[in-house]
């Protein structure tokens, strides 16, 4: 699915809206364990872009130890007063077959391995987030390998293209 132009465009839309819309950012963070921090944080977009070079700031972060893609979308935040940094590792799946790559908590292990590394902005805590159709979230236990599961249908309230993905998956 990653090569699909619509899919790639939606990732870009998600990331750019997260960066530009205070309302969307607060809505998204309110669905994580970092909900109480959302009014105090800033998204480290510029810092991530500097670390990524010419690639989009949010996309396909690689683990230095394995060189493989470790997170589809990585968003790192900082609590301005304390300088505490945390990250949200976001994946997107349309079908059950796509969940095989995330079995046995491997996504969490990768996110944990990226902690406290300068190239990943030295974040100290994280959550893994799955964006998927509601039917997949309820119907496949492998979605429980993520800390949070957010249905496309709820994201569609901000980004209507996700509603189209949810309908296509049904």
Give the model's pLDDT for residue 27. Answer: 96
The DSSP string of 29-57 is HTTSTTGGGGGGEEE-HHHHHHHHTTS-T
> The tokens 């790559």 sit on which residue?
101
Q: Which residue in 54, 33, 13 sits closest to 126, CA to CA? A: 33
Q: What is the pLDDT of residues 2-35, one digit of tens each?
A: 444 456 788 899 999 999 999 999 999 999 999 9
Q: Which residue in 127, 129, 132 sits closest to 154, CA to CA? A: 132
CA distances from 137 to 64, 74, 92 (A): 31, 21, 11
Work out the average pLDDT over 87-92.
94
Q: Which residue in 66, 121, 59, 130 sits closest to 101, CA to CA? A: 130
Q: In terms of pLDDT, which residue wins out, 110 or 101? A: 110
Q: How many residues does the chain have?
A: 170
Tell me if 34 sits within 8 A of 77, measured CB to CB: yes
pTM score: 0.87
Q: What is the pLDDT of residues 113-158, one digit of tens each?
A: 889 988 889 999 999 999 999 999 999 999 998 999 999 999 999 9
Lookup: tokens for 71: 């997170």
Kind of pairing, strands 148-151 and 85-92? Answer: unpaired
């Amino acid at each position: 699915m990653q090569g699909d132009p619509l899919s790639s465009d939606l990732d870009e839309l998600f990331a750019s809206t997260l960066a530009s819309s205070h309302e969307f950012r607060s809505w998204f963070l309110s669905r994580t364990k970092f909900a109480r921090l959302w009014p105090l944080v800033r998204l480290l977009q510029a810092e991530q872009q500097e670390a990524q070079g010419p690639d989009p700031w949010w996309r396909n972060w690689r683990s230095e130890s394995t060189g493989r893609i470790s997170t589809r979308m990585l968003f790192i935040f900082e609590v301005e007063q304390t300088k505490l940094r945390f990250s949200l590792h976001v994946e997107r799946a349309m079908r059950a077959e796509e969940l095989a790559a995330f079995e046995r908590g491997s996504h969490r292990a990768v996110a944990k391995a990226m902690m406290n590394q300068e190239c990943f902005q030295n974040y100290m805590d994280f959550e893994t987030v799955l964006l998927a159709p509601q039917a997949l979230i309820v119907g496949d236990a492998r979605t429980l390998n993520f800390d949070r599961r957010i249905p496309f249908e709820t994201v569609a309230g901000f980004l209507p293209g996700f509603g189209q993905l949810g309908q296509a998956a049904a």
